[in-house]
Amino acid sequence: RKIRNKWYATSDGATVEYELKLSDKEKSWLKDHPIIRVATDPGWRPIEFQDTDGEYKGISIDYLRRIERRLGVRFEILKGYSWAELIEKAQARELDMFSSVTATPDRENYLLFTEPYLSFPGAIFTRYDTPYIGNLKELENKKVAVVKGYAFHELLKLNYPEVDLVPVVSTQTGLQMLEEGKVAAYVDNLLV
């Protein structure tokens, strides 16, 4: 398929034109790889998630669909894997890219990162009856749920070894544990 060289975006009724500048090497790679295997988190609403029909949706997926049309490729989303399993697949080079992933020191050993297209603050979630927690140091020697393989899991383990991390499979599981009082806090992205 032909790679389109122009990008059109509409903002407040005005059409803006951006030129998609690809090197010959990039064009050649895209021609040789018309299907790109993508890792997408099945439960990271509203950024990316799998709906009840098994379809992937969210902010990242909307970006992928636009880029797919512009580059003339097809993004194939790997289905049926947890986030931790997708990280393992990336380490084994069994996928080509993530639709949304945070750079961490460890991930920089096996992934290349673009400039971020989204940025959200992290947050410490606690029960309503918990005194205010102003920073992560206050979580030392407390059980804190984090999704296994998420950036916060890696960064907390590296920078706050005294925090008793409880790896969970999903945001929903972490929040459920918090609600049930099984952990003192849950740490994740504020938007999610």
Beta bridge partners of 147: 168
CA 178 to mean position of chain CA atoms: 22
Residue with token string 């398929």: 1
What tokens does 156 get?
């907390």
What pLDDT score was predicted for residue 15?
53
Instruction: Give the model confidence (pLDDT) of 99-120 as tens digits.
Output: 999 999 999 999 999 999 888 8
Instruction: Give the model confidence (pLDDT) of 158-170 as tens digits.
Output: 999 999 999 999 9
pTM listed for this prediction: 0.80
Instruction: Give the model confidence (pLDDT) of 14-44 as tens digits.
Output: 555 566 789 999 999 999 999 999 999 988 8
> Residues 47, 59: contact at Cβ < 8 Å?
yes
